[in-house]
Amino acid sequence: MSGIEEIRAGISLANEQGREAIAAIQQAVTKLEEAQGTLARITEGTTQDEVVAASGGLAEAIQSLGGAQGTVNVSLEATEGYASRL
């Protein structure tokens, strides 16, 4: 079994990687929001099924990524709590 300091160091590394992932997810959300805005501007007034589906798909992706960010945050909090109790 690993020593306490080794475990803490591993948790610290994993949490840093998790924070990097959150930043990457946020970048993806920002780009998807930009894409959604661009699509809305260039297709304003249209009710074509493909456009509605595309816009809905982008919104769903944004929402899913937001959920992923929340899940990663919960994981980080859990491991930080564990590390603090070691």
The alpha helices in 1-86, defined as continuous H runs, are: 4-42, 49-85
pLDDT tens digits for range 17-54:
999 999 999 999 999 999 999 999 999 988 889 999 99
Pick the residue with more confidence: 77 or 47? 77
As for how many domains the chain has, the answer is: 1
At residue 1, the pLDDT reads 61
* pLDDT score of 71 more than 80: yes
What was the pLDDT predicted at 66? 96
Torsion of CA 64, 26, 45, 49, to 10 degrees: -30
Name the pTM for this structure: 0.84
Domain containing residue 78: 4-85
